[in-house]
Amino acid sequence: MEFKKSPDGGWGWMIVLVSFFTQFLCYGSPLAVGVLYIEWLDAFGEGKGKTAWVGSLASGVGLLASLGCGLLYTATVTITCQYFDSRRGLALGLISTGSSVGLFIYAALQKLLIESYGLDGCLLIVGALALNILACGSLMRPLHASACPLPEKTALENVPDRYSIYNEKEKNLEENILEKSCGREETCQSTLPSGDWKQESLLHKNLTTAHTRETETYKKKVAEQTYFCKQLAKRKWQLYKNYCGETVTLFKNKVFLALFIAIFLFDIGGFPPSLLMEDVARSSNVKEEEFIMPLISIIGIMTTVGKLLLGILADFRWINTLYLYVATLITMGLALCAIPFAKSYVTLAILSAIVGFLTGNWSIFPYVTTKTVGIEKLAHAYGILMFFAGLGSSLGPPIVGWFFDWTQTYDIAFYFSGFCVLLGGFILLLAALSPCDTCNKQLPKPAPVTFLYKVASNV
């Protein structure tokens, strides 16, 4: 089945559905780790900074599960961008709500599981649920351009003779040496009686011929395999050089460089609320009776709303998605700086809702990246950005926890978080306002039609 350009529908909606459930199952528990954080504090009896490493590594980098989550997130975003063009913002908004819905459901589910089965039993059940990601992955079919068939793997039988290590000149030299040695043997054999000499000569000739054929066959196979290994090594080295060259080219793009800094700072400052908000309420002496709903669940609900609305806004042509993303960063930085002033459940709930809504900018982040580097470089660029985003997620909560251990209050910690997000927003704003606006320059509105795409068979 063939489509002009990106399908913008069809099997793409199945991709959206399975990507939604993939992010739901993959990120629901790590994002709702704030529920487990309270349990870990009581179980380990360590400081908040050290204990925060457990939750941050679960959602960032450093653990096997985190590596899997990173690969899954990049895969779902990349394949969705391939299937959608004019509706890309909506599609990305829909799939990214999977993690937010997961946060909302897993926050309540993990509390229930801990009460029923304990911390260890809760983690085992959550891990078992995550195995359903395998079923989701089986329905993802990548797109291939019809005009660009996939290259066939090189077989040893297809190696041309001209690449043989033993060329004709060397072969002739070996034959001359062999003839000379045979000549010397004939001279020696002439001293023997004629009958014995004939039998021995015939036997020697047969053995020599068989040995020569075996040697030539062996040498040819060795030559072919050696050439194949050399070509494979050269190809891999060339791919590595191309990757490094493309990476350098990406970082020459001012907007991409600013985006790289902004996402790193955003995850350092923006991730701690989802992990520490419950403990912030407990440290502010908010009573249990006042909790109408867990603050983490409020963040999850509003993140879902934010992802959908921001994703829909990104599809409007009159809205610059880069400036929209910058606006979310700056506003979120101000909201984080306001958290220390919240001393009641109501104010903490309002700020949690604001932070949650603005965290929904994850739905437009792939959109901004695509507009900056182009769809053909999206997987490469997004992989780099996600690695450093995960690094920021890993560093943020421990830093905030250490600030608390040092000052016995979260005030300075959240001022630091707000400053990081604000700094990232202003750096990206300066790059966007630069005279040579790479984002708009990189991808002018494409002319319709050109490439044909085909859904790859999963057989």
Element (H, E) at 143: strand 143-145
Could you read off the pLDDT of 25-34 as tens digits, one per residue?
888 877 777 7
Q: Which residue has the tokens 């630069």?
A: 434
| pLDDT confidence band for 63 (50 / 70 / 90) | very low
Of the candidates 370, 368, 342, 373, the residue with the CA atom closest to the CA atom of residue 355: 342
Q: How confident is the model at residue 55 (pLDDT cuts 50, 70, 90)?
A: low
Question: What local confidence, expressed as pLDDT, does residue 378 receive?
Answer: 80
Query: How would residue 17 be classed by pLDDT, with cut points 50, 70 and 90?
Result: very high
Which of 208, 315, 222, 277 is CA-nearest to residue 34?
A: 277
Q: How confident is the model at residue 326 (pLDDT cuts 50, 70, 90)?
A: very high
Q: What is the mean pLDDT of the chain?
A: 75
The pLDDT score that the predictor gives to residue 330 is: 95
Indicate if the pLDDT at residue 322 is higher than 70. Answer: yes
pLDDT confidence bin for 205, thresholds 50/70/90 = low
| Alpha-carbon distance values, 316 to 78, 90, 309, 409 (Å) | 21, 10, 11, 43
Residue showing tokens 């997000």: 421
The strands making up 452-455's β-sheet, listed across from edge to edge, are 2-4, 452-455, 143-145
CATH number listed for the domain at residues 232-435 = 1.20.1250.20
With bands split at pLDDT 50, 70 and 90, how would you rate the model's confidence at 323? very high
357 pLDDT tier (thresholds 50, 70, 90): very high
Quote the pLDDT of residue 153.
44
How many angstroms separate the CA atoms of 273 and 420, rounded? 14
pLDDT at 384: 85
Bigger pLDDT: 169 vs 46: 46
Compute the average pLDDT of residues 323-346. 91
| pLDDT tops 80 at residue 91 | yes
Question: Mean pLDDT throughout 52-67?
Answer: 58
Quick check: 235 pLDDT over 60? Answer: yes
Mean predicted confidence (pLDDT) in 355-367? 88
261 band by pLDDT with thresholds 50, 70 and 90: very high
- What CA–CA distance (Å, rounded) separates 227 from 373? 37
So where are the chain's domains? Answer: 1-142, 232-435
Q: Looking at per-residue confidence, does 257 or 452 come out higher?
A: 257
Pick the residue with more confidence: 45 or 371?
371
Average the pLDDT over 131-141 and give the result: 88
Taking 80 as the threshold, does the pLDDT of residue 136 lie above it? yes
Q: Are 102 and 23 in contact (CB under 8 A)?
A: yes
Helix/strand/coil (H, E, C) string of 418-456? Answer: HHHHHHHHHHHHHHHCCCCCHHHHHCCCCCCCCCEEEEC
Determine the average pLDDT of the residues in 246-273: 88
DSSP state letters, 2-31: EEESS-SSTHHHHHHHHHHHHHHHHHHHHH
For position 210, what pLDDT does the model report? 62
Q: What is the DSSP letter of 144?
A: E
pLDDT one-digit tens code per residue, 266-303:
988 887 777 778 778 877 777 766 777 778 888 888 98
Examine the pLDDT at 151 and tell me if it is beyond 50: no
Question: Bigger pLDDT: 228 or 122?
Answer: 122
pLDDT at 416 over 50: yes
| Model pLDDT, residue 277 | 80
The 10 Å CB-count burial string (b at 16+, else e) for 136-162 is beeebbebeeeeeeeeeeeeeeebeee
Phi-psi label, residue 344: left if phi above 0, alpha if psi -120 to 50, beta otherwise: beta
Q: Name the pLDDT band for 333 (thresholds 50, 70, 90).
A: very high
Q: What is the mean pLDDT of residues 186-198?
A: 49
What is the model's pLDDT at position 336? 92
Are 453 and 146 contacting, i.e. CB atoms less than 8 angstroms apart?
A: yes
